[in-house]
Amino acid sequence: MPAHDVLIIGAGLAGQRAALAAASEGATVGVLSKVHPVRSHSVAAAGGINAALNPEDSWESHAYDTVKGSDFLGDQDAIEIMCREAPNELLHLEHIGVTFARNDSGHLGTRAFGGASAARTYYVADITGQAILHVLYEQLMKHHEQLDRYEEWFVTTLLRGDDGECVGCVARDIRHGNLEIFRAKNVILASGGAGQCFKPTTNALICTGDGIAQAYQIGAPLMDMEMIQYNPTTLAENGFLITEGARGEGAHLYNAAGERFMEKYAPNKLELASRDVVSRAEQTEINEGRGFPDGTIALDITKVPRKRVLEALREIVNIGRDFAGVDITREPIHIRPGCHYIMGGVKTDVDGRTPIEGLYAAGEVACVSVHGGNRLGANSLLDTLIFGRRSGEHAAHRARSIPLPEIPDSVLDDEQRKLDALVRRERTGRRVSEIREELGTTMNKYVAVFREDEGLNTALEVVKRLQEEAKTAYIDDQGKVFNQDVLAAIEMEYMLDCAECIVVAAEHRKESRGAQFRTDFPERNDAEWLKHIDLTRNGAGPKISYSEVTITKWQPEERKY
């Protein structure tokens, strides 16, 4: 049975960064991922990464923008750390080989991004996430002697020791179908978000909230789960993302009447207001009949010089051409708000620690909370790297003072029995794929840009029914090798846990803040709701409690763009 000082689950940016940090601190590290690391969804992050690196910029400005973007729900101590450490992290990436775009003098170049008061987004064309992810993987290959990679392994459960601490996990080797216990002094969850709870979504098929649900199932609290970001520019049919970089480069939004409607909603920042603001503006235009007949808005990138588009926005030129049949350098493309990111997740402190000893979380799976009610564009890559690194370092230090845990083999038998039962289910229930489809469309209908009590209650009823149905849902594949069917069934349970928490928290927060807009409570209510909603598993459903928002420098104020 493999044993490590630090076991990292997930190998996107947060996971790989954590692995490299832990290894450089001398820990023995295992990185386990259900897909090959370069397939992780960080690869799709297009626009860039924020850092106040220019001398005329300041981390305080970056932090204030982030706090304001979060609608004052972000914890300011964590935001300060992230923004202070951003420049060095960026330089580290540059030094290990990320091919960041330069300006005329050969220094790092920047582009503008939403909700930011300075152009502080560093980028590689519009493949920033891909470039960073691949470079980190280069480093993983370089340091292969300190880092064991378990590529295409799927975690079925986290394990807790006698004192309640996290001691490892059980995982299935997807390629061969066997289960294995992974012993670890520390486990870092870095397995990404839960966008697949919604349909359509910009998120990859693998973003099924595994880590959020695994932590929840062993008793770790989740926080800010109601905060689901709808990105303003996604393709109507399939939810594919058009990067905010397009607006950063100068693209405009128009309604069907040809009005640049953002002048009305955000007279100063226009298209570069924060994402919740732009998405709400678009949805309002659409709901009030000023959108196009297919329920969309036009994004006009022809404003940006063609040469520049082909150099800096190559990927969305391809996406427009291949998935919407539009040459974005010649004509506008039709978009609408679409599910994109979950600000909430496993509650952690600034070192990635969850309240469960030995269990860490970093990246989209976690909620530090630096994003609060709404994440700024290009802050997600930063979040993954800063808190990935901090978790890795902290876990490596913690490993020095404790022994490797012992885990009885019987654990494996229990898990195996569960899986066998799942595979052998009678074909009387529903197909897993049907449940997934119904969950996605339900969430996208009732838990989207605008929410209200009745819809949320309907959504909760559906989720609870689907949870019951999932218990008897059957699968086709009985084999061991690459049985994706059985994994899909487990992922379904993970998604339903996440969805339940999202809906419960959204129903509970009776105000409008950031991404949460309640048409029945349209105002922000600092007196009652300037607090995080924490959810802890309690029997069948989540138990609700609250935690304070940390405020250091910036008192809540009215939010205008």
Partner 1 sequence: MPEYTLRLRRYDPESGEAAYWEDHTVELEGHRSVLEGILKVKADEDGSIGIRCSCRAAICGSCGVRINGKPGLACHTHLEAAAKHGAGTGWNPPDEGQATPIIEVEPMGNMPVVKDLIVDMDAVHWKKVRRVTPWLINKEPIPEREYIVPHENMVDVTQTMACIQCGACVSDCLSMEVDPGFIGPAALAKAYRFVGDPRDAQQKERLVDLSEDPHGIYDCTHCFNCIDACPKGVAPMSQIMRLRRVASADYEIEDRNNGYRHEHAFVDNIRKNGLLHEADLLPDSYGGKFHPRAAPELISSLPVITKALVRRKVTPTGALLHKHRKEYKGLREYFDTIEKHEKRYELNLYISGYEDDAEGAETAPEVGVAGSSGQPSAPGADPHKSDPSEGGGV
Q: Does 307 bind partner 1 (CB under 8 A)?
A: yes
Note whether 88 and 15 are within 8 A (CB).
Answer: no
* Active-site hit among 160, 172, 275, 375: 275
Note whether 185 and 404 are within 8 A (CB).
Answer: yes
Report, in Å, the least distance between residue 473 CB and partner 1.
11
- Closest CB to partner 1 among 306 and 531? 306
Cα–Cα distance measured from residue 388 to residue 48, given in angstroms and rounded to the nearest whole number: 17
Interface mask (CB under 8 A) for partner 1, residues 373-412, using x and -? Answer: ----------------------------------------
Report, in Å, the least distance between residue 149 CB and partner 1.
10
Closest by CA position to 66, among listed 371, 514, 345, 388 = 371
Query: Looking at residue 404, what DSSP letter applies?
Result: P
Quick one: which of 33, 70, 110, 444 contacts partner 1 (CB under 8 A)? Answer: 110
Report, in Å, the least distance between residue 452 CB and partner 1.
31
Note whether 263 and 561 are within 8 A (CB).
Answer: no
CB-count burial class (<10 Å; 0-12, 13-18, 19+) for 107 = exposed
Report, in Å, the least distance between residue 111 CB and partner 1.
5
Residue 46 has which token pair? 């297009």
Report, in Å, the least distance between residue 490 CB and partner 1.
13
- Closest CB to partner 1 among 482 and 546? 482
Q: Kindly identify the residues of this chain, within the stretch 145-164, that bind partner 1 according to CB under 8 A.
A: 151
Q: Kindly identify the residues of this chain, within the stretch 185-224, that bind partner 1 according to CB under 8 A.
A: 204-206
Sign of CA dihedral 281, 283, 289, 292: positive
- Closest CB to partner 1 among 268 and 401? 268
Query: Looking at residue 560, what DSSP letter applies?
Result: -
Sign of CA dihedral 253, 255, 256, 259: negative
The interface region with partner 1, picked from 91-99, 443-451, 495-503, 535-543 by CB under 8 A, is 91-99
Give backbone dihedrals phi and psi of 155, rounded to 5 degrees, phi first: -80, 130
Note whether 278 and 271 are within 8 A (CB).
Answer: yes
Ordered DSSP codes for 68-96: HHTTT-S-HHHHHHHHHHHHHHHHHHHHH
Q: Does 2 bind partner 1 (CB under 8 A)?
A: no
- SS3 category, 49: strand
Pairing of strands 366-367, 345-347: parallel
Q: Does 427 bind partner 1 (CB under 8 A)?
A: no
Report, in Å, the least distance between residue 325 CB and partner 1.
7
Quick one: which of 294, 406, 414, 437 contacts partner 1 (CB under 8 A)? Answer: 437
Note whether 79 and 63 are within 8 A (CB).
Answer: yes
Quickly count helices (H) and strands (E) in the chain. Answer: 16, 19
The interface region with partner 1, picked from 123-131, 284-292, 349-357, 385-393 by CB under 8 A, is 123-131
The interface region with partner 1, picked from 409-417, 425-433, 513-521, 525-533 by CB under 8 A, is 425-433
- Closest CB to partner 1 among 113 and 521? 113
Please list, in sequence order, all residues whose beta carbon lies within 8 angstroms of the beta carbon of residue 527, skipping any fewer than 6 positions away: none
The interface region with partner 1, picked from 74-82, 296-304, 421-429, 539-547 by CB under 8 A, is 296-304
Report, in Å, the least distance between residue 494 CB and partner 1.
16
Quick one: which of 1, 26, 141, 413 contacts partner 1 (CB under 8 A)? Answer: 141
Q: Does 428 bind partner 1 (CB under 8 A)?
A: no
Q: Kindly identify the residues of this chain, within the stretch 55-84, that bind partner 1 according to CB under 8 A.
A: 56-57
Quick one: which of 36, 264, 471, 510 contacts partner 1 (CB under 8 A)? Answer: 36
- Closest CB to partner 1 among 166 and 235? 235
Q: Does 319 bind partner 1 (CB under 8 A)?
A: yes
Cα–Cα distance measured from residue 38 to residue 50, given in angstroms and rounded to the nearest whole number: 22
For the chain, the first-to-last Cα distance in angstroms comes to 54
Catalytic status, residue 275: yes
- Closest CB to partner 1 among 168 and 248? 248
Report, in Å, the least distance between residue 487 CB and partner 1.
10
Quick one: which of 102, 417, 424, 510 contacts partner 1 (CB under 8 A)? Answer: 102
Ordered DSSP codes for 93-127: HHHHT----B-TTSSBPEE--TT-SS--EE-STT-
Interface mask (CB under 8 A) for partner 1, residues 471-510, using x and -? Answer: ----xxxxxxxxxxx--x----------------------
Quick one: which of 33, 130, 243, 354 contacts partner 1 (CB under 8 A)? Answer: 130
Note whether 441 and 433 are within 8 A (CB).
Answer: no
Interface mask (CB under 8 A) for partner 1, residues 259-288, using x and -? Answer: ---------xxx-x----------------
Give backbone dihedrals phi and psi of 172, rounded to 5 degrees, phi first: -105, 130
- Identity of residue 298: A
- Closest CB to partner 1 among 302 and 550? 302
How many Å separate Cα 138 from the centre of its chain? 23
- Closest CB to partner 1 among 152 and 452? 152
Residue 528 has which token pair? 């009652």
SS (H, E, C) 198-215: CCCECCCCCCCCHHHHHH
Residue 522 has which token pair? 């349209």
Q: Kindly identify the residues of this chain, within the stretch 227-256, that bind partner 1 according to CB under 8 A.
A: 238, 240-241, 248-250, 252
Q: Does 104 bind partner 1 (CB under 8 A)?
A: yes
Catalytically active residues are: 275
